[in-house]
C-alpha cells in the first residue's frame, strides 16, 4: 500500500502576468524540488490555486508535473471539488495520467455534516482505485472533519491518510489516536510538522517548502535521524516567514515570497494577486536570512 510520508511540497502553479500557466517555470520547480531532497510533489492544492483553475488547466498542470518528474518522486494531485461527480471525474483522470495518489478536500460552499462528508469520500474511494488523502481545511471549507469520521474512512482500503490544515494541534492528535498506525496523518500547517511527527504523524504537506524547501526537509530528516535539537532548529527557522502571513492571504504571500526568492512563479490569479509595498518590505527582510534554494 502506498505510504505518504516526509515533506511533500504544496506546489505553486507558476503563471505569466496574463494569468496563463507558465509551463517552463513549472518544470523548473519540479527539478528544483527534486534537487532539494523533498519527499513528494503535491500539485493543485490550495497553494496551487486549484480553486481558480479550469478543468483543462488542472489536467495540464498534472501532465506537466508528471512528465517532468519522470517517476523520481511520488506525485500527489488535488482532485477535490464541490460535488462528488466532479471529484470522481478529476480523480479518474489523475489515475489515468499516472498520479501516485490524490488529495481530496472537503466539499465547500454548501454546508456539510459528518454523514455528508463520509458519503462523499466513500463514494470517491469506491469509484477510483487510487490512494486517497483526505484534506481537512475548515477555514476554507466551513466544516471540520471529526475524528470519528476520519476513523471510519480509514477503514476503506484506498483511503490512506489525512492532511489537517485546521491549525488545531488537538485535531491532529485526535486523528492520530483514532486511526491505525499505517494511516498517514500529515500536517498542513507548517508550524506543526515536528510536533505532528513527535505525536506519531508521518510528516507534512508544506506551503513554505516553495520558499525554503531545504529547511522543511531538514525538519523530517533530522527527526528521522534522531537529531531532535536539529529538527527543532529547522522547525523554528521558518517561524519568521509564517509571521508575515498575518499581512494577507497566506497562499498569495507564499507565491509572492517565492517570486522574491528569484523564481518566476508570477502572481496569484485576481483578485488574490497582491500589490503591497509594505508586505514586500517585510518579506525581503525575512528572506534575506535565507539563501536561494
Residue 1, pLDDT score: 73
Tens of pLDDT, residue by residue over 77-119, are 999 999 999 999 999 999 999 999 999 999 999 999 999 999 9
Helix (H) or strand (E) holding 77, with range, is strand 75-78
Calculate the average pLDDT of the chain.
Answer: 97
Is the pLDDT confidence value at 253 over 90?
yes
163 as an active site residue: the answer is yes
Whether residue 135 lies in the annotated active site: yes
Closest CA relative to residue 275, chosen from 291, 263, 259: 259
Which whole number is the average pLDDT over 206-226? 98
Bridge partners for 101 per DSSP: 76
- Cis bond upstream, residue 160 (ω within 30): no
d(CA 145, CA 166): 10
* Catalytic position from the list 58, 93, 152, 163: 163
- Summarised one tens digit per residue, pLDDT across range 120-177 is 999 999 999 999 999 999 999 999 999 999 999 999 999 999 999 999 999 999 999 9
Choosing from 51, 76, 118, 135, the catalytic residue is: 135
One-letter-per-residue 3-state SS of 226-286: CCHHHHHHHHHHCHHHHHHHHHCCHHHHHHHHHHHCCCCCCCCCCCCCCCCHHHHHHHHHH
> Which whole number is the average pLDDT over 191-207?
98
Maximum CA extent, the chain:
49
What SS3 string covers 160-194?
Answer: EEEEECCCCHHHHHHHHHHCCCCCEEEECCHHHHH
CATH for 6-287 is: 3.20.20.70
Q: Give the three cell numbers for residue 15.
A: 503563471
Angle at 229 between CA 227 and CA 234, to 5 degrees: 95
Tens-digit pLDDT profile for residues 21-61? 999 999 999 999 999 999 999 999 999 999 999 999 999 99
Amino acid at each position: 500500500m502506498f505510504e505518504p510520508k516526509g515533506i511533500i511540497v504544496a506546489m505553486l502553479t507558476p503563471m505569466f502576468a496574463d494569468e496563463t500557466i507558465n509551463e517552463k517555470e513549472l518544470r523548473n520547480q519540479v527539478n528544483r524540488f527534486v534537487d532539494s531532497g523533498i519527499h513528494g510533489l503535491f500539485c493543485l492544492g490550495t497553494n496551487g490555486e486549484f480553486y481558480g483553475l479550469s478543468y483543462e488547466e488542472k489536467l495540464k498542470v498534472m501532465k506537466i508535473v508528471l512528465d517532468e518528474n519522470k517517476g523520481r518522486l511520488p506525485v500527489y494531485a488535488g482532485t477535490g471539488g464541490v460535488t462528488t461527480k466532479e471529484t470522481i471525474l478529476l480523480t479518474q483522470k489523475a489515475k489515468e495520467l499516472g498520479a501516485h495518489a490524490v488529495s481530496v478536500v472537503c466539499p465547500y460552499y454548501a454546508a456539510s455534516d459528518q454523514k455528508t462528508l463520509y458519503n462523499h469520500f466513500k463514494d470517491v474511494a469506491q469509484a477510483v482505485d487510487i490512494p486517497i488523502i483526505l484534506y481537512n481545511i475548515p477555514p476554507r471549507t466551513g466544516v471540520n472533519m471529526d475524528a470519528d469520521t476520519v476513523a471510519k474512512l480509514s477503514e476503506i482500503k484506498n483511503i490512506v491518510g489525512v492532511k489537517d490544515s485546521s491549525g488545531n494541534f488537538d485535531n491532529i492528535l485526535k486523528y492520530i489516536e483514532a486511526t491505525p498506525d499505517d494511516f498517514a496523518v500529515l500536517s498542513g500547517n507548517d508550524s506543526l510538522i515536528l510536533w505532528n511527527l513527535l505525536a506519531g504523524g508521518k510528516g507534512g504537506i508544506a506551503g513554505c517548502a516553495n520558499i525554503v524547501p531545504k529547511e522543511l526537509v531538514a525538519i523530517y530528516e533530522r527527526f528521522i535521524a534522531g537529531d531532535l535539537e536539529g529538527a527543532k532548529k529547522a522547525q523554528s527557522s521558518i517561524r519568521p516567514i509564517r509571521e508575515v502571513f498575518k499581512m494577507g492571504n497566506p497562499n498569495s504571500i507564499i507565491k509572492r515570497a517565492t517570486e522574491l526568492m528569484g523564481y518566476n512563479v508570477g502572481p496569484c490569479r485576481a483578485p488574490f494577486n497582491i500589490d503591497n509595498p509594505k508586505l514586500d518590505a517585510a518579506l525581503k527582510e525575512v528572506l534575506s536570512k535565507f539563501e536561494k534554494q
